Structure 1
Amino acid sequence: MDSVDKRIKKSYFWKIYLESIDFEKWLLMALNLSSIGCFLKNGKYPTKFICLVIKLHEFKPSFSMIKEFIKNDSNLIIRLLGAFYIRLYYRPLLIYKLLEPLYYDYRRVPVQIDHSKTKMICVDIIIDSLLNKTYVMGIKLNSLVKRLNKSIKKYI
């Protein structure tokens, strides 16, 4: 994750808009995002979405705040900001517990493919990728322990 952080923090968007931003301005930017995505041009340019996820980590949000992000039914981008944050920074049991309910969100969200291209993808497909794939939108994720038991509530 460190090399991803370095690439993001060297980006124009980060240096101009995010380097010294406070949480209120961050939230306004997040609410105005029109698509999700991680990197463009073979990992060379980070999207605004992944820059905002990394900046969120610098704010050290509370667990309850992140839960509110993923519960947000009215804004898919905020929901997915929370989902990416959880997948990048939480432990496996919490990742499964918090992200699996999002499998039932079949709405479509624009995913930025190139500077001028987006592709509509269902939220459940994105969540499945976050839970089951090693690379998601150009970011290598930590391996998750495979679930052997469907009931994880007793461990949390």
Structure 2
Amino acid sequence: MASHQADAKALLDDRGYSGALIRGQNPALLFEKAVRDRITESYYWKEQCFGLNAATLCDRAAELTFVGGTYGGLGKPTPFLCLAFKLLQLVPEKEIILAYLNWPGDEEEGMEGDEDEDESRAPGVKGEFKYLRALAAFYIRLAWEPPEIYKTLEPLLADYRKLKRRMRDGFTLTYVDQFVDDLLTKDRVCATSLWKMPSRTLLEDLDLLDPRESPLGDEVEQLDEDEDEDMENGREKDEREESGEIEESGGSRSPIED
């Protein structure tokens, strides 16, 4: 345990830190000091995060049952937040984080009921472990560069699976796409202040991003085509009525009336 405490101190000590940097600084500083202190003093950090590496952390994250930051009157950190902090300590290769994001899982995963089976087939879903995916997305928002963040997280907006979220005084229901949207648009998520990203529009203007294609693009295009066709048919009908090719309703009488 002493080595684990020393390891945590090295992460938190700017003067003695010699590990990988994120945007030129100690990754631990991406969390506020009060949150860092609560994490490193928590039971989960001391007992469940001890000695984790990129592989064993994946196993631990697959056991998560909710996302969240801190909860309760004392601001106790969630396992989700502790594992996110551990990721900042490890700074895994991007290929590893992408593997977390789309972890395939076993065939039995997500097959416990009809609802889970339907969710596992949702658009944009590649990995079975949705809380592992949420953890990877949270880390990406903290650690990667803006163009990579948009390119990697935006496809997850098509993942509509349910997520359980721990709030300060209880639980609430959210969804993967909503959680990802919060990461892309909000300043604070899971008790963590997110660094301000440049807007997508600015990155497009700088040719760092291609314009985003909506997943509904084909459907919207088809609706536009149908609307144009209806308008064209309406104009043709009006022209025929004006030329007398189509008589007004009631314009002709039955021979019986004569």
TM-score (norm. length: structure 2): 0.54
Of 119, 123, 129, 2:182 maps to 129
Cα displacement (A) at 1:43: 7.2
Q: Residues 87, 18 of structure 1: CA spacing in aligned structure 2 closer, same or farther, 3 A cutoff?
A: same
Q: Distance in 2 between matches of 1:149 and 1:17?
A: 42
1:97 is aligned to 2:151: yes
Q: Distance in 1 between matches of 2:138 and 2:102?
A: 14
Runs of 5+ consecutive residues of structure 1 not aligned to the other structure: none
Equivalent in the alignment of 1:78: 132
- Any idea what the Cα deviations from partners look like across 1:96-134, whole Å, max 9, x if unmatched? 11111111111111112257x422201111111100000
Q: Which has the larger displacement, 91-100 or 69-78?
A: 69-78
Of 13, 38, 44, 2:75 maps to 44
Q: Residues 102, 28 of structure 1: CA spacing in aligned structure 2 closer, same or farther, 3 A cutoff?
A: same
Q: Residues 42, 89 of structure 1: CA spacing in aligned structure 2 closer, same or farther, 3 A cutoff?
A: farther
- Matches for 1:3-152 after TM superposition, within 5 Å: 3=33, 4-41=35-72, 44-72=75-103, 73-114=127-168, 117-148=170-201
Give aligned pairs, total.
154
Partner of 2:67, secondary structure, is coil
- Any idea what the Cα deviations from partners look like across 1:50-95, whole Å, max 9, x if unmatched? 1111112222211111112222321101111110010111111111
Partner of 2:196, secondary structure, is coil
Q: Distance in 1 between matches of 2:154 and 2:67?
A: 19
Aligned partners of 2:75 and 2:168 also within 8 Å: no
Task: With a CA cutoff of 8 Å and minimum separation of 6, indicate the structure with the bigger relative contact order.
Answer: 1
Please tell me the root mean square deviation across aligned C-alpha atoms, in Å: 2.3
Q: Which has the larger displacement, 56-65 or 77-86?
A: 56-65
Partner of 1:74, secondary structure, is coil
Q: Distance in 2 between matches of 1:8 and 1:26?
A: 16
Q: Distance in 1 between matches of 2:95 and 2:57?
A: 18
Partner of 2:201, secondary structure, is coil
Q: Which amino acid aligns with 1:139?
A: T
Runs of 5+ consecutive residues of structure 2 not aligned to the other structure: 1-29, 104-126, 210-258
Q: Distance in 1 between matches of 2:177 and 2:142?
A: 18
TM-score (norm. length: structure 1): 0.86
Percent identical among aligned pairs is 31
Partner of 1:148, secondary structure, is helix
Q: Distance in 1 between matches of 2:102 and 2:59?
A: 18
The structure having more radius of gyration, on CA atoms, is 2
Aligned partners of 1:33 and 1:49 also within 8 Å: yes
